Structure 1
């Protein structure tokens, strides 16, 4: 059975038109017709029938189409596997990540994977926020991402890998700055700055706050902005996720929140359930899924 004929059959079954299928295959229509006739002769049964100016699969054709798709997909997988094993292609991963994830342990994990994999590989890194990273993953612009997640997505595989502690950020001259730990009830009466309501963190924060009513300004994208605002205004208070990004703010004191779990904001390794994955990508996902990323906790003062 000719492999090209199977490819032609699959295309005609999907396009349902000889002329259009031949054009997409870059072959002459008679060539396509001969290929289909040859398949039908070999199988001893018609695979297509004409209905209302369309070329439709017969019941036997539908059965055959199912297995042809599997066969062609497996052949493609085999070719990819052989190329990777033989070193015919340099592996490449398009990785998306949150800014806050790229601290010491993230860098060590990337280096450890390079060392374990051995073969030359290229990891292209895209930074962003969860919505854009998830969107690009689904659009196949990224292969795998480190991002947040509000609820399970049926199209994605998610593995929890890292977390950030919730912190109150205040200027070092603020009345709350001497606190080693703080209760949310102690924030009553203060103007509080935090993330935009459209963000995943804001939704998680609302759960922790419960029915409490505070003067909260949901307006900002990230903890760097929130920390800089607290630096410039000694009266303001900020609720943010702690990470290495805020360590540069010497004028700001970070205080853990009693009511919030230590793993307040979880970050996941996200990949698509459907679609082909190279051996390199599968190895990367397996490696990072089992790697230990310590939670970003507020340092003890």
Structure 2
């Protein structure tokens, strides 16, 4: 059994089509078909069955595919570890994060890290809370920023990097737009623009409204902070967003007002697999982040000079 056969098999399993697999592999279709046939002969099983114009894994093929995927990922990591051992500053860091952190936080920390280690490469993957957990467990990413921080999880661990304040955002002509502070129940009669279900900010806002004594009336739902901010600015409702999601990216901006009661915050953590040792370059990035956010919490400011109520740094998952 050859490594090439396993690589061809996995690519066909992913694409469900020999032609598409051969195009991505940059080899002849006949070569891919021949390697798959030889693999099936050696194993004595049929790995694929025809389904229309596509190929579909047989039950035994599905079982074999899971193992092959794991083996090839381990091999890739082994090769990466060798390269990192020879030169730790030449490695690649795979990091996941939610959309709301991609506006400012991720570019800021990556730029700062690359000033120190200019040859390190990054591979990014955005996702929602459940998919980020899955990506860490399946080793699709080495590290993931996540919010809220999962206090208890058997397969991931990490640290709370910061606790961020959330602000009410209002249309510019809203009666409360000029206020410095408001109580959240002052918005009980307004319609809300919220994140769609599945986004971690939605339950934070929802529970804060319930704590304030009302159930929010939903006018619109969105999947990006720019969309929600734009709809609020256009007068379609009110909302609550984290501070780092309020950087101006277009001329139409809502008013930002601090919520005095109840205080609305979210934790932002960094997680990795609990049963696995991080690659050296990823461990270096993790150590850098702990120091980076620790210094910000001591000064009470982020890199842009905005206040973050950071606490609970280095809190282990499950504590």
Shorter-chain TM-score: what band? Answer: 0.5 to 0.7
Determine if the alignment matches structure 1 residue 226 to structure 2 residue 228: yes
1:1-301 equivalences under 5 Å are: 83-87=83-87, 90-104=90-104, 106-117=106-117, 120-149=119-148, 150-209=150-209, 210=211, 212-217=213-218, 219-233=221-235, 236-248=237-249, 250-261=252-263, 264-292=265-293, 294=301
User: Structure 1 residue 83: deviation in Å?
Assistant: 4.6
Structure 1, unaligned runs of 5 or more = 1-22, 27-76
Give, in angstroms, the shift of residue 126 of structure 1.
1.8
CA distance in 1, matches of 2:229, 2:80: 48
Give the stretch that moved more between structures: 287-296 or 133-142: 287-296
> Is the alpha carbon distance of 1:247 and 1:187 closer, same or farther for their aligned partners in structure 2, counting shifts above 3 Å?
same
Aligned length: 224
CA contact (8 A) 1:145 1:270 kept: yes
Contact 2:229 / 2:253 at 8 angstroms: preserved in 1? Answer: no
1:108 Cα deviation after fit: 3.7
CA separation in 2, counterparts of 1:140 and 1:270? Answer: 12
Q: Which runs of 4+ in 1 moved over 4 A?
A: 77-83, 293-299
Structure 1 residues 121 and 88, CA gap change in structure 2 (3 angstroms) = closer
- Contact preservation (8 Å) 1:195, 1:221: yes
Q: State the shift of 1:202 in Å.
A: 2.6
Contact 1:269/1:289 (<8 A) preserved: no
Separation in 2 of the partners of 1:194 and 1:88? Answer: 43
Closer/same/farther in 2, CA of residues 156 and 187 from structure 1, 3 Å limit: same
Q: CA deviation at 1:260?
A: 4.1
Q: Indicate conservation of the 8 Å contact 2:105/2:244, yes or no.
A: no
Alpha-carbon distance between aligned partners in 2 of 1:161 and 1:298, rounded to the nearest angstrom: 14
Aligned partners of 1:100 and 1:245 also within 8 Å: no
Normalising by structure 1, report the TM-score: 0.62
Deviation at 1:81, TM superposition (A): 6.1
Partner of 2:182, secondary structure, is: coil
Q: CA distance change for structure 1 residues 123 and 259 in 2, over 3 Å: closer, same or farther?
A: same
TM-score (norm 2): 0.59
Structure number, greater radius of gyration: 1
CA distance in 1, matches of 2:242, 2:82: 45
Cα-to-partner distance string for 1:30-60 (whole Å, 9 max, x where unaligned): xxxxxxxxxxxxxxxxxxxxxxxxxxxxxxx
Question: 1-side partners of 2:180 and 2:131: how far apart?
Answer: 36
Q: In structure 2, what is the Cα distance between the partners aligned to 1:128 and 1:221?
A: 11
